[in-house]
Amino acid sequence: MKMGESVEWTLHCATVLAALPDGAVLPASALAEFHDISESYLLKQLRAMTAAGLFASIPGPKGGYRLARQPEAISLLDIVLAVEGDEPAFRCSEIRKCGPTASSPSAYSATCAIHAAMWNAERSWRASLASTSLSEITRRIGRSLSAEVRAKAQVWFTANVRA
Q: Which stretches of the chain bind a second copy, using CB under 8 A?
A: 1-3, 5, 7-9, 11-12, 15, 33-37, 76, 80, 84, 87, 89-93, 95-96, 98-104, 106-108, 110, 112-114, 116-118, 120-129, 132, 137, 140-141, 144, 146, 148-149, 152-153, 155-156
Specify the residue, 50 or 132, whose C-beta has the smaller distance to a second copy: 132
CB of 74 to a second copy, least distance (A): 13
The contacts found for 49-57 with CB under 8 angstroms, 24 or more apart, are: 49/10, 49/13, 49/14, 49/79, 49/82, 49/83, 51/82, 52/78, 52/81, 52/82, 54/14, 54/78, 54/79, 54/82, 55/14, 55/17
Specify the residue, 155 or 163, whose C-beta has the smaller distance to a second copy: 155
Specify the residue, 59 or 92, whose C-beta has the smaller distance to a second copy: 92
Where do the H-state alpha helices sit in the chain? Answer: 5-18, 28-35, 39-51, 76-84, 113-130, 134-144, 147-160
Specify the residue, 59 or 86, whose C-beta has the smaller distance to a second copy: 86
CB of 163 to a second copy, least distance (A): 20
